[in-house]
Amino acid sequence: MKQQGTERHAVISRVTTGMRVVDTVGVEVGTVDLVQRGDPNAVTVQASTADPGGSLHELIETAAVEEPDVPADLAARLLRRGYLKVSTELTRTGAVYVLADQIATVTDDQVRLDVPASDLPPEE
């Protein structure tokens, strides 16, 4: 079951770098490289109506190039909800991203997801 609101923040706050990540069917995805809590006020992909070519657009582009390294619309969603960056051998880029609400459970040494590894967006 997907976590919502404060429950989701509580779950992601228990994740630390180096933890093993396993998908919904038990496939080893990799290890947590970065934990980023969500910010509901994070930059969105909607351009400012007052200045559509201004600094907001540039900030979105910068966020997509740095972390998370995904298209701008997905980057905005990851920043708002919170995410994990997972080092993996399952993609050619060596990393995938996990939305905080894709985390099913967190134990002492493992993060279990409620989605298959194939659903995780790769780093660009």
Q: Which residue has the higher pLDDT, 41 or 43?
A: 41
Rounded Cα gap, residues 114 and 33, in angstroms: 19
- Listed in sequence order, the DSSP H helices in the chain are 5-12, 55-65, 72-81
Q: What is the mean pLDDT of residues 94-115?
A: 97
12-29 burial, b for 16+ CB within 10 Å, e for fewer? beebeeebebbbeeeeeb
pLDDT digits (tens, 9 = 90+) for 42-88: 765 444 344 444 555 555 555 544 789 999 999 999 999 999 999 99
Q: Could you state, in order of their start, the residue ranges of all structural domains in the chain?
A: 5-41+53-119
CATH (residue range 5-41+53-119): 2.30.30.240
pLDDT at position 49: 43
Q: What is the pLDDT of residue 41?
A: 83
The string over 93-117, giving b where at least 16 C-beta atoms fall within 10 Å of a residue's C-beta and e elsewhere, is eebbbbbbbbbbebeeeebbbebeb
Is residue 2 over pLDDT 90?
Answer: no
Read off the tokens for 14: 């228990």
Whole-prediction pTM value?
Answer: 0.77
